[in-house]
Structure 1
């Protein structure tokens, strides 16, 4: 998983943990919903400015967006 995919996965996870729609997060972070959607799909690169804005809105540290998922044990 590359960093863009990691960011996208974490952004979606953090938004869902708040039970916010993309519209709600986009409004609160003052970005367009279509841009947020593309970030969550991993099709757009994100700027440091937007990472800061999303982190503030979701009340998390910016590093939360780049945490790699824990590996699960093979069955």
Structure 2
């Protein structure tokens, strides 16, 4: 799995864990819901700045979005 896909899977899982919609995450991160959706589909690569904005909105460390889980290897 490439890093873009790892981030997509982690973002979707973490957002669901926080019981947030894409719209809520977008609002709290200052991004558009359409862009959040594109990241979750692995259609786009997020910049380091965007990674930080999303992590802050989720209340996590940015590295959590990039960790490949054992079951996805």
TM bucket, shorter chain: over 0.9
The answer for unaligned runs of 5 or more in structure 2 is none
Runs of 4+ more than 6 Å apart: none
**Within 5 Å, which residues of 2 pair with 1:1-75?**
1-71=1-71
Distance 2:43 2:70 in 1: 23
User: RMSD of aligned C-alpha atoms?
Assistant: 1.1
With normalisation by structure 2, the TM-score equals 0.94
Distance 2:60 2:28 in 1: 14
With normalisation by structure 1, the TM-score equals 0.91
The answer for unaligned runs of 5 or more in structure 1 is none
SS of structure 2 residue aligned to 1:20:
coil
Number of matched pairs: 72
Whose Rg is larger?
A: 1
